[in-house]
Amino acid sequence: MFLWISVAYMTQGVDMNKQLVTKDNSLIGASYSLGVVEQRLIFLAIIEAREQKTLIEAGGLLRIYAQSYAKQFNVEKHTSYEAMKRAVEGLYEAGFAYSKLDERTGKIGHYKSRWVDKIGYIDDLGCVELVFASDVIPLITRLEARYTEYELRQVVGLQSEYAIRLYELIIQWRSVGKTNPISLVELREKLGLVDEYKRIEAFKRRVLDIAVKQINEHTDITVEYEQHKQGRVITGFTFKFKVKVKSKKALNGESDKTDIPSSLKMTPKQRISFASQLSQMGELSSYAKQGEDYKEFSTRIETELLDESRQAFYIPYLKKLGFQPS
């Protein structure tokens, strides 16, 4: 049962340049399929939910106006409302699958949830109302170190639902400028592709290449990908990206370069110890593989700490644990 709050919160009149989409990394790395309008509604609702954290945790009702949607995404108000209404049904039926560390047991849990518990629209007000599902609320409000944050304006120009998802998947590696290798199977799952574009040529042409092109044209990064093969068969990808020069100057004085040593110098004992600690960090829980328990995850991290191509990813987390790379 939900506590319905009679006051609805508006997303109108807020400077888009200051609006941040913030998600737990478990949600960033989740598997789901949402259309562009559905994702945009989620973005606006997340921003409002973060601002109304206390009331949202009590089951608060969020109201998103067509006027706000039109302003944020540079479309006509009437067109916005019709698109929002069409998205209501899809968003009500939509769900996602995600993995998260159970802090009590140290095990990786694998879960499924819906996005919303209730959603509808009011024609006379030109708005959509929704209540986030209980599983979603902590993934957008109760955030500590394990989250990814980006400006809403970075995804405004993305017209492909896959471009939006790929941008999110890539940008969580902002500190290193390169993702870990991701298998084709896993990438398809995260993009919500079950039966579509099964042939790799169609997947690249209709999904991946379009997404990369839009990201390069409309966001703050430029990205390229490397294919991984077994024989002649493409089995996965690694994405490399750089922050555009103009965007770097806006990052509050942050350096354009990531200071990462070429290799980590660890004793075997240190490697085992840090691998164990890393496997228990909440912000890394979404990187555990399906069916992988705590010990298996720790063993895999230990192996990856020996691989210079993987070490850069772990450095920010190692520093949190007190390790100082030489």
Residue/partner pairs of 274-277 with CB below 8 Å, 24 or more apart: 274/305, 274/318, 274/321, 274/323, 275/299, 275/301, 275/302, 275/305, 277/321
Interatomic CA distance for residues 135 and 61, integer angstroms: 16
Parts of the chain with a pLDDT under 70: 1-18, 53-59, 144-145, 246-263, 283, 286-287, 289-291, 307-310, 325-326
Percent of the chain with pLDDT over 90: 50
pLDDT tens for residues 255-278? 443 343 445 778 888 888 988 888
The residues near 82 (Cβ < 8 Å, ≥ 6 apart) are: none
Interatomic CA distance for residues 68 and 66, integer angstroms: 5
pLDDT tens for residues 200-211? 999 999 999 999
Spatial contact of 25 and 313, defined as CB atoms under 8 Å apart = no
Give the chain's mean pLDDT: 83
Give the predicted TM-score (pTM) of the model: 0.71
End-to-end, the C-alpha distance of the chain in Å comes to 54
What domains sit in the chain, N to C, each tagged with a CATH number?
Answer: 16-155 (1.10.10.10), 168-248 (1.10.10.10), 268-320 (no CATH)
